[in-house]
Structure 1
């Protein structure tokens, strides 16, 4: 590690954190090689195991996993493209066949075969996580030789290729290995050389990668908790890439010497879920009243400006399956009347949890909503907590309301609507058999027009039932040093950093 890098880590507190968390650091950890890309994302990486229940769809972890592991199918330019699978086809309503790329090797030198894929499918199905609903219809997977995998589904499943963009492949013998949390083995363009949870990830180029060597010798990913410190590091050249840059701080980046900004309408959005299984949010009248209390146009406009758009559905407008809905009108009088009708004329007290690093201006967004709710007699106690605690409480339904950003990682409504809002998933205590039927049919349909129609119906149900409040879809701003080439901003906040290079 060069002197400048050591100084930077010390200044941002990362070196101190690494010492403090020494018991969690990877034994024998090594920094990324000299000349590596220094990339800072706005959330900490807490775990690298692709089958960890708590981080199965965690955005920060997915960024690293896409660099370390491969998937059968991946996105390129917003379209599904071959990954480890060179081709795939549905031979009948319940059977899919995927032909694998020959000659692929894992970081430890062992060959990747169909048996590894089958083991990963079985592990994914066995671990109950936020991905579970995506794989419920997969009945079995079998290896037909070394380079062919056949999936059998319990009924038609048109979303299998999309879902496979989230199935990370590791050696079969390592699917349940605890070492995968800290020093995982994959077949991606980079291998892990060091990892301290919530502090930094160090990657080195894997020269045996089937797709050819990455553009830079490695990637170093420090977590810098304070956005202002991260922006200073970018402007000083201590980091090469920073995202997302909050809209209210873009002026600190745009036009600065040696720095440029690239933006993309993202698949990332803010949501506030109600725990619909916990009173008083079991009553949809209460949930709608909470939404009517908010002047969402003013809140989103003042906080985010051009950095976000007010949502008109429970998924962003750039996502397949979006169907625009009529916005809830700001009407505090109607909100108070609805609370009286629900037997809460004197208001009530409740809580809302979030973690600050969930997204730009999270605390400010929370405070704006809490202030508006106070004006209709609802006292909301704020609970700003650490990400690991937030994840644990979220997954165990130990909350009244929660605020978070969510990313439709695949760009398809199946990932969010089909995964989160079924009764079986029970992600927010909401149960609606009619919605279950619509989402099940949408997951089975192969025709895009039919899928779009069904997800449109699901959008309306979720919106009308006020399962949550959906304030804003974000525009992601990436700040990068002008010497970088080959970078493409990603709508899902998970850019392919293997293509990045430096000007000589």
Structure 2
């Protein structure tokens, strides 16, 4: 009880400081008279440099400052971006015609030189950018003329257009002048908003860019604030210090849904939630142990009791919105069966159970810390004790992508490609940053990437899904529902399933 009271007092104090710093008070949205939109996420961006923006909260900021060659519209279809059209020259070369008149925020023109520089820089292994692995199917970019560029892949690669979403175009002259570190602190792009200020772990401020080539923003300024505590995010929304907030916990939904000044904005997302495992260390290198952990989890109870029903049970690596989903593998792949879990542990040589380290973030996913505690409790009933550690995202994410997790870790993955290749290449192949791979799957992953026959490629993706489920490199959980909330006087904004927060058309509703 004393801990809960202390938590409440701390949250209240933080809420007061947040509201004092950014609210106009009186229940009116802070941006009502200024044309400002305030978005509150649970964690801050990793960098201002899109080459190092690998997590969704970072990408949400990058999407607004930078433009890739192609974009994805609200229906999730690929559409022209900096490139107006493209064609396949041969099975390894795609030719892109660049849009004329595109300007960076410093007024310089975006040309083929910037496109070539973007890919050359991103692919440079010496720079070790986080997003390099997203586009390393590309061998090089070649200038044809000032408004034409060839993208040459290492081998035939069907989903290239979706991969290009991960490579926003950056200004060659500016970066060469100021260097990578300064660019990461004060970025310049060609997107609908330009950089103003970044107070780390507090707020990231952008103004609308009048010279944008596309649809002009219907607001003057966007501020992304960082508030890890869900109750404080809700308080910020209710008092007008925020216009949009993420990850509303189920127990707080009633406070924002259907209220005069706020409303819930839910959507079925594509983010899959799972418990990752370092399969390169004992005892997690044994598939029987990994399967046992899957049988030890009562997913339905967690969804009902912790998430208030706000998730879609999959029990496999990803859900049906992702290309490569196998309809033959459903949520019964690992039904809750603690007795079977114990038997598998005994078969693996652990009749008396075992102990594993377990780390989870706080504030990144819906009820993440609470879920980790509940999962640890369920594992204990099957004989698996855990040393649970709850970390802030700024600690957890760099450690995880650096492959420094030694046991279990609670994670969620979105999928900007909407293609299973994203998971396989980045998390289940020897070329990726995951904690599992084998030679057999490496061969199939490589084969589907070069397969330009989409029907046969889909079958390859399905077979890969079967292998992933069987080998159990994760404790498979569910696809998370995304619970946003917004001010009722905010018009022109809707949540998207891939978690992009696009506020270009957001504005105050007419009175």
Structure 2: 5+ residue runs without aligned partners? Answer: 1-11, 23-30
- Does the Cα contact within 8 Å between 2:401 and 2:433 map onto a contact in 1? no
Aligned residues, how many?
481
- Does the Cα contact within 8 Å between 1:12 and 1:224 map onto a contact in 2? no
What SS class does the counterpart of residue 50 from structure 2 fall into?
A: coil
What SS class does the counterpart of residue 279 from structure 1 fall into?
A: coil
Distance in structure 2 (CA, Å) of the matches to 1:147 and 1:12:
52
- Alignment of 1:448 onto 2:473: no
Instruction: State the TM-score, normalized to the length of structure 2.
Output: 0.89
Equivalent in the alignment of 1:80: 78
Equivalent in the alignment of 1:410: 417
- 5 Å-filtered alignment, 1:143-182, equals 143-173=143-173, 174=175, 176-182=179-185
Shift of 1:81: 0.5
- Once the two structures are superposed, residues 1-57 of structure 1 have per-residue CA deviations (whole angstroms, 9 ceiling, x without a partner) of xxxxxxx99845459999xxxxxxxxxxxx9993210111233223221122xxx42
Aligned Cα root-mean-square deviation (Å): 2.3
What SS class does the counterpart of residue 145 from structure 2 fall into?
A: coil
- Once the two structures are superposed, residues 101-126 of structure 1 have per-residue CA deviations (whole angstroms, 9 ceiling, x without a partner) of 00101001111011111111112112
Equivalent in the alignment of 2:27: none
1:57 paired residue among 54, 57, 68:
54
Equivalent in the alignment of 1:122: 120
- Once the two structures are superposed, residues 195-253 of structure 1 have per-residue CA deviations (whole angstroms, 9 ceiling, x without a partner) of 12221111111100011421100101111222112112212222111123223321111
- Alignment of 1:460 onto 2:466: yes
Distance in structure 2 (CA, Å) of the matches to 1:395 and 1:304:
26
Residues 465 and 420 of structure 1: CA distance in aligned 2, closer, same or farther (over 3 Å): same
Distance in structure 1 (CA, Å) of the matches to 2:164 and 2:118:
11
- Does the Cα contact within 8 Å between 1:32 and 1:193 map onto a contact in 2? no
Equivalent in the alignment of 2:107: 109
Shift of 1:353: 1.0
Distance in structure 1 (CA, Å) of the matches to 2:425 and 2:252:
35
What SS class does the counterpart of residue 213 from structure 2 fall into?
A: coil
Distance in structure 1 (CA, Å) of the matches to 2:504 and 2:128:
31
Equivalent in the alignment of 1:343: 349
Equivalent in the alignment of 2:205: 202
What SS class does the counterpart of residue 358 from structure 1 fall into?
A: coil
Shift of 1:273: 0.8
Distance in structure 2 (CA, Å) of the matches to 1:369 and 1:337:
19
- Does the Cα contact within 8 Å between 1:410 and 1:492 map onto a contact in 2? no
Instruction: State the TM-score, normalized to the length of structure 1.
Output: 0.91
Shift of 1:86: 0.4
Distance in structure 1 (CA, Å) of the matches to 2:38 and 2:59:
17
Equivalent in the alignment of 1:222: 225
Compare 247-256 and 361-370 and name the one that shifted more. 247-256
Shift of 1:131: 3.3
- Does the Cα contact within 8 Å between 1:73 and 1:161 map onto a contact in 2? yes
Shift of 1:59: 0.9
What SS class does the counterpart of residue 210 from structure 2 fall into?
A: coil
Residues 87 and 390 of structure 1: CA distance in aligned 2, closer, same or farther (over 3 Å): same
Distance in structure 2 (CA, Å) of the matches to 1:297 and 1:123:
46
- Does the Cα contact within 8 Å between 1:105 and 1:187 map onto a contact in 2? yes
- Does the Cα contact within 8 Å between 1:300 and 1:471 map onto a contact in 2? no
1:422 paired residue among 429, 446, 451:
429
Compare 471-480 and 162-171 and name the one that shifted more. 471-480
